[in-house]
Amino acid sequence: MKTKSSKNDLTHEDILRFRKIESVFLNRCKHFGYKEIKTSTVEPLYIFTALGALRDDKLNRIYSFIDWDGWSGERVALKPDSTTCVARYYGDHLRGENPRQKLCYVENHFEWADDWDKISERWQCGVENIGSAAPESDIEIIYMALDILKNANIRKFRLYLSYPSIIRQMVRGLGLYDSRQKELLEAIRKREDVQDMIKKLAVEPEKGRELNAFLQTPEEIPEYSANYLENLKYSLTKDTYDQIAPCLDNFISICKSLDNLKCNYVIDFSMLGDLEYYTGIKFQFLSSQVRKSRKDILCSGGRYDSLIKMMWEISEPVPAVGFALFARNMIPSIPAVTDKLQNICIYIGNITKGNVEKGQYLCDKLSNLGFSARISFTQVKPEEYDDYGMVIEVDYDAYDDGYQVLSSQKIGKPLLMNLFGEFNGR
């Protein structure tokens, strides 16, 4: 039987990089007060289909099946998106509590792939800041994503900002039939020749020029700052500005704060995305200058103020904003873990209960200091010492202290004595 290797596997080297991402992510979440949760891998299908949260092309790629014994024959799905699941979790567990909730998660997603060579299982690290409509929460989310990418040692990335509801409102203001609006929005999403389509649809020239000004490609925009948005604002007719004023003013406010943080970004209004629940700012960190495929997305997020309200039929909107790191796409951009001096081997020279427990004690201490410590029941040969920053042998019968450092390349004797007390080093 001929077999193929799955593209969904993570190698040992991939896992080392993934743990780097996860460690930096959870550390930053702790700094900003986010609580970690896990949502179910299998969810009721209707939470993805009933609210119009996902575009049709994404819905068509959901793995779904009948759960005959679990939920009375209900159709369920392997989750393709965590934000919708967190909205479900919020209603199940947090409604009636403090409306301000800051949640984070490390989860995998599933999406049907066209063929065996494509990825159908993805890993994401995400945050959801629920209960605040203030621009400061948008800025916090964007800054966290930026900070995590930098501290994960990803050297090349570019931040793109958009505000889909501005473009949707401008398209609605053109007076087109719903089908034509949908056609135009799809052309915008695909970065097709929108100006030509506007002419074909016989759009009022002034409104067509306004829309086209917002849809310049990033290469055509001379300045990526709040000033650019201010210039767009003053070029609008009063009728168009009145339609989009709250959204545009909010976008300008966010960009001014990002400018103060010396955060570089590109404004690209054609970035509408494949998730329909965004009501405010949307952003992506890309590994390339321009997105060519989903593999270029390192992080994606935005504001969704209506999703929880619609799902749970709450009288008032529950504002929320979040992001997800695309761990699979980040892994190739993270430098390999090659510092052998960080590796410490604790060799159990005489396998007894006391020796193994002592070895575990030393392993825990060193691991807590950031070293990669491991226990071995197999003797390390002297010619292999160079592969480790330190080799320690544990044997209460052979050594007064119960262990001895056989080799140490990086850690000095004073530090070792402070950690472990006196020892006989060679």
Architecture of domain 340-420: 3-Layer(aba) Sandwich (3.40)
Do 332 and 10 contact (CB within 8 A), yes or no? Answer: no
Q: Does the pLDDT of residue 259 top 80, yes or no?
A: yes
Sign of CA dihedral 158, 161, 164, 166: negative
How confident is residue 161, by pLDDT bands cut at 50, 70 and 90? Answer: very high
SS3 state at 146: helix
Q: Does the pLDDT of residue 5 top 70, yes or no?
A: no
Kindly report the number of other CB atoms within 10 A of residue 17's CB atom: 22
Rg of the chain over all Cα atoms, to the nearest angstrom:
27
243-253 pLDDT, tens digit each: 999 999 999 99
Token duo for residue 226:
């709040």
Going through 331-417 in order, the beta strands assigned E by DSSP cover 343-348, 372-376, 390-394, 403-408
Do 387 and 343 contact (CB within 8 A), yes or no? Answer: yes
SS3 state at 378: coil
Do 99 and 137 contact (CB within 8 A), yes or no? Answer: no
The DSSP code for 92 is I
Rounded Cα distance between 347 and 393, Å, is 5
Whether the domain at 10-163+274-333 and the domain at 340-420 fall into the same CATH topology: no
Burial of 303 (0-12, 13-18, 19+ CB in 10 A): buried
Q: At what angle do helices 238-260 and 226-234 cross, to 10 degrees?
A: 170
170-221 pLDDT, tens digit each: 999 888 888 989 889 988 888 877 778 887 777 888 888 888 889 876 565 5
Q: Give the domain ranges of the chain.
A: 10-163+274-333, 170-268, 340-420
SS3 state at 223: coil
Kindly report the number of other CB atoms within 10 A of residue 414's CB atom: 8
Q: Does the pLDDT of residue 312 top 80, yes or no?
A: yes
The DSSP code for 215 is T
Instruction: Identify the bridge partners of residue 393 per DSSP, sorted by sequence position.
Output: 347, 404
Query: Which pLDDT does position 260 carry in this prediction?
Result: 92
- Taking CB atoms within 8 Å and a gap of at least 24, the contacts of 409-413 are 409/341, 409/385, 410/341, 410/342
Q: Does the pLDDT of residue 103 top 60, yes or no?
A: yes
Instruction: Identify the bridge partners of residue 102 per DSSP, sorted by sequence position.
Output: 129
Residue 367 sits at the vertex; the CA angle it makes with 365 and 369, to the nearest 5 degrees, is 75
CA distances from 225 to 24, 251, 254, 261, 266 (A): 29, 11, 10, 12, 8
Instruction: Identify the bridge partners of residue 322 per DSSP, sorted by sequence position.
Output: 128, 302
Label the pairing between strands 343-348 and 372-376: parallel
CATH 3.30.565.10 fits 10-163+274-333, yes or no: no
Token duo for residue 245:
């004023």
The pLDDT > 90 percentage for the chain reads 47
Rounded Cα distance between 147 and 347, Å, is 38
CA 146 to centroid of chain Cα atoms: 11
Range among 12-21, 190-199, 341-350 with highest mean pLDDT value: 12-21
The DSSP code for 91 is I
Of 5-9, 333-337, 400-404, least confident by mean pLDDT is: 5-9
Q: In what order do the strands lie in the sheet with 390-394?
A: 372-376, 343-348, 390-394, 403-408
Do 90 and 314 contact (CB within 8 A), yes or no? Answer: no
How confident is residue 304, by pLDDT bands cut at 50, 70 and 90? Answer: very high
Contacts of 9 (CB under 8 A, 6+ apart): none
Of 133-147, 169-183, 260-274, 282-296, least confident by mean pLDDT is: 282-296
Residue 16 sits at the vertex; the CA angle it makes with 143 and 84, to the nearest 5 degrees, is 50
Q: Where are the alpha helices (DSSP H) in 235-317?
A: 238-260, 307-312
